[in-house]
Chain A
Amino acid sequence: MIEIKNVKKSFGTKEVLKGVNAVFEKGKINIIIGASGSGKTVLQKCMVGLLKIDSGEILFDGRDFVTMSSEDKKLLRQQLGMLFQGAALFDSMTVEQNVMFPLDMFTDWERKEKLDRVNFVLERVDLKGSNSKRPDELSGGMKKRVGIARAIVLKPKYLFVDEPNSGLDPRTSRLIDTLIHDITKENNITTVVNSHDMNSVMEIGENILYLDQGRNGWSGTSKDVLFSKHENLNNFIFASEFFRDARDMRILEVKGLIEDERDMEKILREGLKSSGSDPSS
């Protein structure tokens, strides 16, 4: 579990994070959503220590990352995995060398042992046999998958993912989402994902934090997010007419099925299946 308390960060006179509070639960996909420029990347970079916060606390299972000794920080960092927006693969190295790099640096395993682990994670991200490829030979989706493999090779407790779907087609995006979801569940990782893609949010999101220009806008579960009364959040989610219409249609549809309108929200939230009248099934 990661907890952040009143985190503030400015660049010069520009205040980017204006006191953010959040709890990111273990074994869950915690998604930070918000418009471009709302501070998602800055928040994540603060959490992993790439940027220094001006004030506040960042607690990894109760231990404050900011005030920790540099030795402890180093150890904690070996438990962090991060998938960067552009994958950030080392382009002078092959796929295998990229994924093996953390093992080379931080373990004293035999080569055979390291290779087994590398092949295991590569297979996990569906890239078996791509060991000797170079990053520039890979498609965007493959790069992300190598990035995931490298991030999880040391079995991290915390996984940070910045915009996993940027630059990917919808199908590849869903594959990457699924991979992040499954890996989180299999290894009981505390996963924090930055996204502005509502598809991901609805698909894999569990806890949602909406950043509104560097402030906590709204937080809750992905089931609640569509029904929030937060105006900016609604404008963000329903930026496309299509989604707004789709929601309204759905509401009308449900309205026709029930007598008491007050149940509507509950039914939508819990899914139509549980009420036994899902028209799409």
Chain B
Amino acid sequence: MKLFSSFGQYLLMLRGTIRKPENSKMYWKEFMHQSVEIGYGSLGIVVIISIFMGAVSAVQTAYQLVSPLIPKETIALIVRDTVILEFAPTLICIVLAGVVGSKIASELGNMRVSEQIDALEIMGINTKSYLVAPKVLGALLTIPLLVIISMVLGIYGGRLASSLGELVAADAFDRGLQSGFVIKNVYIGLAKAYTFAFIISSVSSYFGYYVRGGALEIGRASTAAVITSCVMILIADYAIAYLFL
């Protein structure tokens, strides 16, 4: 029951974000600010995770490919497809749900608890559109970019691990990368990235925006935001895989 009313409130919040801005310049400024916070702020962790997850997937694929009948280049191909289809969008977005989601939820929660949201409302500003929309749009702009970076770095990490561990030579790896490449996989990966970006930003905004109480509740809200985002990401991941693969 509570789940349904929360979901209803979530949808109402989203509908409330679609309003004509009081002052487009200020909204633009807020959008840019959020894009930098979300995108640039998470770049470091995305770089590190991407390289390592590519490396690990290369090592594990090599470990499982014992048959002499399968050429070593296949490792590159498997790394490429798993990174593009699953690792870059899903794993990165699960991490971003933690990094970005908790930031959004606690920022809004703090604004709610310290009456900053009320102060904006009093001034005649639609806080749903001023506070939530720039975050959602900023996430939709930057998270897919981060995922593309992650795809490239993940494959690079796989290549690096392959040549360092003498699993596959670099030129063989490059040959493998080019074989049987379908652009559709990239589109699916990006579709996931957009979906997950929307989930992370809107769900975390919801939990932060409707916080009641004090500092303790802000902490609870950001935990709830992260958990809910992660679960929804996994459900959406499964749905997209089921529909498109």
Contacts and interface: CB of A to CB of B under 8 A. Distances in A.
B45 interface: no
B26 interface: yes
Contact of A102 (B114, B118, B123): B123
A49 B110 CA distance: 21
B114 A105 contact: no
Interface stretch (A14-22, A86-94, A214-222): A86-94
Interface string B13-55: 0000000001101100000000000000000000000000000
A105 B22 CA distance: 7
A159 B119 CA distance: 13
* Smallest CB-CB A-B distances: 5 pairs: A77-B124, A88-B115, A88-B119, A74-B124, A84-B115
B36 to A, nearest CB: 13
A78 interface: yes
Given A77-B123, A105-B26, A105-B125, A50 B114 contact: no
A91 B116 contact: yes
B22 A106 contact: yes
A113 B51 CA distance: 51
A73 B114 CA distance: 24
Contacts of A86: 114-115
Interface string A46-81: 001110000000000000000000000111111011
Given A104-B26, A105-B23, A106-B23, A78 B115 contact: no
A101 B118 CA distance: 14
Contacts of B22: 74, 105-106
A77 B25 CA distance: 20
B122 interface: yes
Contacts of A75: 124
Nearest to B118: A50
B121 interface: yes
A88 B124 contact: no
A235 B88 CA distance: 67
B65 to A, nearest CB: 51
A105 B118 contact: no
B123 A105 contact: yes
A85 B123 CA distance: 16
19 contacts: A49-B121, A50-B118, A74-B124, A77-B123, A78-B124, A84-B118, A85-B115, A86-B114, A86-B115, A90-B111, A90-B119, A91-B110, A91-B114, A101-B123, A102-B123, A105-B22, A105-B23, A105-B123, A106-B124
Contacts of A106: 22-23, 123-124
A50 B125 CA distance: 12
Nearest to A81: B122
Contacts of A102: 123
A90 B116 contact: yes
Interface string B226-237: 000000000000
A276 B70 CA distance: 112
A82 interface: yes
A82 B119 contact: yes
Contacts of A45: 118
Contact of A104 (B23, B119, B122): B23
Contacts of B23: 104-106
Contact of A88 (B25, B26, B116, B125): B116
Interface string A153-168: 0000000000000000
A51 to B, nearest CB: 10
A137 B123 CA distance: 25
Nearest to A80: B122
B103 to A, nearest CB: 12
A48 B114 contact: no
Contacts of B114: 86, 88, 91
Contacts of B119: 82, 84, 88, 90, 150
B241 to A, nearest CB: 39
B28 to A, nearest CB: 12
A10 B125 CA distance: 26
Interface string A19-52: 0000000000000000000000000010011100
Contacts of A89: 116
Contacts of A74: 22, 124
Interface string A168-203: 000000000000000000000000000000000000
Contacts of B118: 45, 50, 84, 88
B81 to A, nearest CB: 42
Nearest to B110: A91
Contacts of A85: 115
Interface string B95-122: 0000000000000001100111011011
Interface string B127-149: 00000000000000000000000
B135 to A, nearest CB: 13
A84 B25 CA distance: 27
